Structure 1
Amino acid sequence: MSHAHYSKLWLVTRKDAEKLLKLDETIGNLKSWKSKEDCLNKILPMYLKYRNLVKRLMVCYNQMVQPQKRDLIKQVLNCAIGRMLEYKREIVKLECSDYVWPDNFLIEMKFTQDDVDILSRSYYATDRTRELEERRKYINDLIDSANKPPESIIIETHIIEQTMPSAIDVRNTSSPIKVTKARKVKTGEPSRMQISLESEEHKKAREAREAMAKLWKSTITLIQSHERARSARCIGERARKQYIRNIKLNQGQTELKKPEKSARKQAAMIIQRTWRRYRAREALRKRADRVEELLDMKIPSWRNREVFEKDEANYRRIQNLQPEAVWHLEERTDEESARVHAIKAAGLMEDITDEIREWFILWYNELGYFDIFPVATAGGSILVATGQTLTPEEYLLEKLQKAKKKEKSKGNQKTKEESDENKKLANKKKGKSKTDQAKSQQLSTSESKAFPGLLQANNDFHHYWEFRDESSNPKQREYLDLITEKLCYELQLEMREIVDELMRAELEKLKEALMKDHADDKVKLDAPTAVKAGKMKKKKKEKKDPLGNMAPEDIFFELARNRIIRSQSVVRLKEWIGDLSYQNYEARQELREYRHRLGEVKESVIDYCILPLLSKESHQVAPLVRSICICGLPRHGKGMLADAIFTEVGALVLDLSPETLLNKYLGKKEQNRLMNMVNKVARSYAPSVIFVKGGERPWLKKVPRELRYLQPKRLAALFTKFIKGIKSGDRILFLSTSSEPYKASKKFVKIHEKVILIPVTDYNTLYMFYKELLMKYHGVDRNLDVSCLAKLSVGLPLEFIRQTVENVVGIRRRITLKFKPLQQREIMEELLSYDSPGPKILEQYRKFEKTIPLEKERLKMLANERELREKINSPKKKKKK
């Protein structure tokens, strides 16, 4: 599509964002809610609108070429992600669940599920492929360079006259060995014949293997020659018989039996009728298949990819234009920066100097002394220029108020203390329960980190872009006036720093001269003085680097050599197949038990793991989630979800699983050093994911004998300390996967802020999965009923089902599909071989789920709501007379 299309899409999206901001501000200013339902009725539509806004902004950002406009869109996108996740946090607090089913609001707003699905299939045509590929290639190159030795020593040998029994018995052997000297060869040089020390037994075994191979080869050759001779004899016999028959026919010894003309005609008619009926049936079937394909009622084994390939090529073209546009912008900025510095730098310094001196003169003329020069950390002379410093009149008023406060008696202080105590007692009586009003106050826009950024981006659009005519810029070139304005602002800040240093020195000299003039006065000059050094806040001492200022690259190489940093396998989140729970909205209204499905798991992974790590800005404004655990039965997709997170984010993976750390970094000092290295590398190469496979092992209640050699609990305390040190903007996530979370202690649940439970497979998901799995084979009947297969497979892992189908529909079976259609029982027989975990393990999982704090709150909330509904619906007893 053209640049104009995405420019229009951006303008429409921005108008919707502006309306959403106004609505958000009105909701944020509300101080109280009538009930929890009223609060949810306001919050849920806002959450859905923000999800739809984020999806459209992603498309605009990825398809836009103009770099200055893309910077503004990126700012809006990051803040919209943060605000959306803030609303999600409040919904989770109210509903006591990480999963949302707002079916009624989707119907009201005329949204489909695809409209609010951020990483849907349609989005993948416009994803961040180029950035992620570059990031993945960069990390893999670093890992390869770390594992690549500088040089290798190759030992060359020609002939070994006598072999040794083993390398240990070299000293005891008397047989001479001829070995050439070792030489150093650079990596990449073809290797020579390696040294080999062969014993007598090994030599006999080798000779026996060689003799067996020769015998096997001669046997095969003999069989082949006999088979070819047999087939040649058969062909010769058939040719001889045909030759004799032809001679007899020529000599008239035998006659051919010719069928009657009527019989031949009847046979031709039968053949023609059968063929025409067959053609008619095929034509009708193809027509019906075509109609069903057009209506999406049938899944074809092959689709025409021409339109998709054209769209992909267009997307690649835009992706290649984006870095070119950024390069042009930087080149133009450098040229304009040199011009602006040459023209305006000197004049700016004079103007700023005159402005500050006028401030000096104003204070001296009014009060006879000077004010304190603002500190550089507070803004310096910018506070003077913007009028944020005190005027002489304001300084005198403040001085009088301080004098009055000192005159107040101590009795007033006692009354204040009494009033404070009364307030505390009143607060205790009210209690600190989580009421709807308290929860609604957290939605205030003043407390939001993302809302001010959205307002600022909206103001920037009004200031720079609203009245700009872009019809004269069809190629989306950069705008010079925006570059100049930005450079002038940066130049002013740069010049102010220089001028402030000079004017501070000048003010000190003026104050010294003033103090000399008033040295003989009886009344001391009451001029404002700077804060004493003792009263100033002590600056935090910079923490010493426990690694001795070791370079991050060196740490990276060391961790890569120890296999702690590993290359990631490319797995897209779109490969995760799972349907949503369409019945849970009604179940929630009726206060029935309800559970999430695999589709909701995907949404939680997007909200908590992927979106916050996309950029530093989004991680700063989004609610901080430091640690996540993905729990599920074996082979239910935990590893696939983890790999999908690494791929979608382009994260650096630091594997701290007990198996990876076996016999590495032993002892407290080495363990502390390891965590310090991990901390430094993770921050230097963000986004980073600290991954622990078997996440329950560091917090096991009792370590089994078969796992004691791993020493799984040695890093548990350091993990806790590391997670607490993660802050907003670090783009670090502690991710673990667990197949047996019920074996861990309570600390395991406490240390993970979010626990994502992968449920067992359901009918809807399995029906979709079987359709996608079987319909890719051309010979499989399009009308094959997979409903019975889905019903039978409920609870079976998808990976096992995939392997089963691939085993059943192998190459040999696919050849016979045309005349021997696939039957459901063939797959059913293989599915019955699955070894289920058993009811005990499933019961342990359910018990563990109830120990999660959020699930506890949900169950309590449902119980309270049931009691209230029973009280309301129960018939009132008649009072006895």
Structure 2
Amino acid sequence: MSHSTYNQFWKEANSTINDLLVQEIPAEPLKPEKDRLTVFQKLATLYIKYVQIFRKLESSYDQVVHPQKRRILRQVLDGTMGRLLEVKDEMVNLEFSEFHYFDDILSDLKLTPNDIEIPIPKYFLHERKKVLQEREQVLGKILAKMGPTVKDSDREAKKMSLEEAIRLVQIHERARQGRLRAKFMREIRLEEEREKLAAQRGAPTLDPDVAATRIQKIWKGFIQRKVTRREREEEMVFIGMVPGKEVKTKKITPQAFAEKTEVDRRITQEENEVEYQQALVTIKEKIRQVEGPDIKETMQDQIRQWFIECRDATGKFPDYPDEEDGGSSLLFKEKTPEEVEAELKEKEEEKGKKKGKKGKKSGKKSEKKKKLLRFGI
């Protein structure tokens, strides 16, 4: 399928999600439904529609080659899978069963059971290919270091001496020669019996026309059986009961062409992802070099302007925010100088209260020590 087809799948899935959200989150709260069957019908309908959405998003995510689109698709796909599990859990809690019957709903929606099968997402395997390969290599190294297991050693063939092996080979060879000799003698005996019978009967006499008729009959029967066998094979291939013979030509079947296209798209995805990551680094460095000085000057001007506005509003220059409070980021939160000054004063007052509490505690401890010293304790 073409790229536009998968984009259309994505568009249809988004449209269906919006419709389902309107149903699930209405503007006005609905009254609680008491009929158990009605609730199950609603949940089952939601479940089937989310399965269809999941199938479209999964196929789109597997074949779309744009890195930015794939990131957005992945978020929507993960959210759809999560919602699908939630609906399934609600159905299980309602029916107390893991298995449900959607015959009537499928009939109303004009769907088949194959349309609600949940495929395993292909990115589970393709995106973890390197991890799985590394895991196999590690397991192979561990097994190689451990050596053969106990079961393998038990299955090892019993060792045999050279004399026993020679004797075994001789026994089998003599038996083979004996069987051949017996077969040869049996054929000689049968041939002698046929010759005796032919001598007793005498030379056969057959009319040439009768002989020709017999030859024609046998030949025509052979040809007709061959034609019938070929026609039967062609009919079985035509109705799909038997796979057709492989044609030794360079023509590619539609299934093979579709599989090849999917593999090529996955290769293109990897190439585009590498280019995307490289472009992120390049663009970030370019912005830092080209626009960095201008951004720095703009931020410095904003900080100076903020200090001047604070001085005009309060009559003095404010303290620069500490790193713990956020530093210069506090100055860029679209707050007025008065608001920032009030926040800084509140934090200073809190710090002063904490210091005062610590001073009172230390004063109480020193008074206790003085009393103990007076009484000689």
Query: Unaligned stretches of 5+ in structure 2?
Result: 148-157, 247-251, 355-377
1:317 match: 264
8 A Cα contact 1:51 1:118, kept in partner: yes
What is the distance in 2 between the residues matched to 1:534 and 1:115? 68
Alignment of 1:136 with 2:132, yes or no, is: yes
* Residues 354, 325 of structure 1: alpha-carbon distance in 2 compared, 3 angstrom cutoff: same
Give, as a single letter, the amino acid of the residue that structure 2 aligns with 1:104.
D
8 A Cα contact 2:310 2:317, kept in partner: yes
Alignment of 1:27 with 2:36, yes or no, is: no
Alignment of 1:79-158 (within 5 A): 79-119=79-119, 129-146=125-142, 149=145
The alpha-carbon deviation at position 127 of structure 1 amounts to 5.8
8 A Cα contact 1:43 1:87, kept in partner: yes
8 A Cα contact 2:6 2:59, kept in partner: no
What is the distance in 2 between the residues matched to 1:46 and 1:312? 32
Alignment of 1:207-606 (within 5 A): 210-232=162-184, 256-261=203-208, 263-264=210-211, 267-268=214-215, 271=218, 274-275=221-222, 278=225, 282=229, 285-286=232-233, 288-293=235-240, 298=241, 300=242, 306-366=253-313, 385-387=332-334, 392=338, 527-530=345-348, 532=350
* Residues 534, 235 of structure 1: alpha-carbon distance in 2 compared, 3 angstrom cutoff: farther
Alignment of 1:10 with 2:11, yes or no, is: no
8 A Cα contact 1:24 1:46, kept in partner: no
The alpha-carbon deviation at position 291 of structure 1 amounts to 4.8
What is the distance in 2 between the residues matched to 1:530 and 1:38? 61
2:370 match: none
2:72 match: 72
2:44 match: 44
8 A Cα contact 2:92 2:98, kept in partner: yes
8 A Cα contact 1:370 1:528, kept in partner: no
The alpha-carbon deviation at position 263 of structure 1 amounts to 3.6
Query: Unaligned stretches of 5+ in structure 1?
Result: 153-204, 397-506, 512-526, 537-881
What is the distance in 2 between the residues matched to 1:275 and 1:317? 51
The alpha-carbon deviation at position 259 of structure 1 amounts to 1.9
Alignment of 1:709-858 (within 5 A): none
8 A Cα contact 1:373 1:380, kept in partner: yes
> Per-residue displacement from partner, 1:73-118 (whole Å, max 9, x unpaired)?
2222222222222332333333333333333333333333333323
The alpha-carbon deviation at position 10 of structure 1 amounts to 2.0
What is the distance in 2 between the residues matched to 1:378 and 1:25? 42
* Residues 236, 266 of structure 1: alpha-carbon distance in 2 compared, 3 angstrom cutoff: closer
> Per-residue displacement from partner, 1:269-298 (whole Å, max 9, x unpaired)?
6546755764676466446534532xxxx4
The alpha-carbon deviation at position 28 of structure 1 amounts to 1.9
Name the structure with the higher helix share.
2
> Per-residue displacement from partner, 1:599-655 (whole Å, max 9, x unpaired)?
xxxxxxxxxxxxxxxxxxxxxxxxxxxxxxxxxxxxxxxxxxxxxxxxxxxxxxxxx
The alpha-carbon deviation at position 215 of structure 1 amounts to 2.9
Give, as a single letter, the amino acid of the residue that structure 2 aligns with 1:260.
D
* Residues 118, 303 of structure 1: alpha-carbon distance in 2 compared, 3 angstrom cutoff: farther
What TM-score results when the alignment is normalised by the length of structure 1? Answer: 0.32
1:654 match: none
* Residues 530, 73 of structure 1: alpha-carbon distance in 2 compared, 3 angstrom cutoff: farther
> Per-residue displacement from partner, 1:294-322 (whole Å, max 9, x unpaired)?
xxxx4x36786944333333332222222
> Per-residue displacement from partner, 1:395-432 (whole Å, max 9, x unpaired)?
99xxxxxxxxxxxxxxxxxxxxxxxxxxxxxxxxxxxx
What is the distance in 2 between the residues matched to 1:16 and 1:385? 40
The alpha-carbon deviation at position 532 of structure 1 amounts to 3.7
Give, as a single letter, the amino acid of the residue that structure 2 aligns with 1:24.
L
The alpha-carbon deviation at position 138 of structure 1 amounts to 0.7
8 A Cα contact 1:27 1:42, kept in partner: no
* Residues 276, 103 of structure 1: alpha-carbon distance in 2 compared, 3 angstrom cutoff: same
Q: Matched residue of 2:291: which SS?
A: helix
Alignment of 1:61 with 2:58, yes or no, is: no
What TM-score results when the alignment is normalised by the length of structure 2? Answer: 0.68
* Residues 386, 22 of structure 1: alpha-carbon distance in 2 compared, 3 angstrom cutoff: farther
The alpha-carbon deviation at position 6 of structure 1 amounts to 2.4
What is the distance in 2 between the residues matched to 1:330 and 1:50? 33
The alpha-carbon deviation at position 342 of structure 1 amounts to 0.6
8 A Cα contact 2:9 2:57, kept in partner: no
* Residues 28, 97 of structure 1: alpha-carbon distance in 2 compared, 3 angstrom cutoff: farther
* Residues 19, 215 of structure 1: alpha-carbon distance in 2 compared, 3 angstrom cutoff: closer
8 A Cα contact 1:372 1:529, kept in partner: no
What is the distance in 1 between the residues matched to 2:94 and 2:320? 50
1:821 match: none
- The number of residue pairs the alignment matches comes to 335
The alpha-carbon deviation at position 230 of structure 1 amounts to 4.2
CA radius of gyration, larger in: 2
1:819 match: none
Give, as a single letter, the amino acid of the residue that structure 2 aligns with 1:343.
V
Q: Matched residue of 2:271: which SS?
A: helix
8 A Cα contact 1:44 1:91, kept in partner: yes
The alpha-carbon deviation at position 139 of structure 1 amounts to 0.8
What is the distance in 1 between the residues matched to 2:255 and 2:93? 42
The alpha-carbon deviation at position 20 of structure 1 amounts to 1.6
8 A Cα contact 1:371 1:528, kept in partner: no
What is the distance in 2 between the residues matched to 1:256 and 1:215? 53
Give, as a single letter, the amino acid of the residue that structure 1 aligns with 2:277.
E
8 A Cα contact 1:55 1:118, kept in partner: yes
The alpha-carbon deviation at position 48 of structure 1 amounts to 2.0
* Residues 234, 529 of structure 1: alpha-carbon distance in 2 compared, 3 angstrom cutoff: closer
Give, as a single letter, the amino acid of the residue that structure 1 aligns with 2:85.
L
Give, as a single letter, the amino acid of the residue that structure 2 aligns with 1:20.
I
Q: Matched residue of 1:258: which SS?
A: coil
What is the distance in 1 between the residues matched to 2:331 and 2:42? 44
Give, as a single letter, the amino acid of the residue that structure 1 aligns with 2:11.
R
* Residues 284, 144 of structure 1: alpha-carbon distance in 2 compared, 3 angstrom cutoff: closer
What is the distance in 1 between the residues matched to 2:222 and 2:107? 53
Give, as a single letter, the amino acid of the residue that structure 2 aligns with 1:85.
L
Give, as a single letter, the amino acid of the residue that structure 2 aligns with 1:213.
A
* Residues 232, 283 of structure 1: alpha-carbon distance in 2 compared, 3 angstrom cutoff: closer
8 A Cα contact 1:51 1:116, kept in partner: yes
8 A Cα contact 2:10 2:56, kept in partner: yes
Alignment of 1:615-630 (within 5 A): none
* Residues 291, 138 of structure 1: alpha-carbon distance in 2 compared, 3 angstrom cutoff: same
The alpha-carbon deviation at position 341 of structure 1 amounts to 0.8
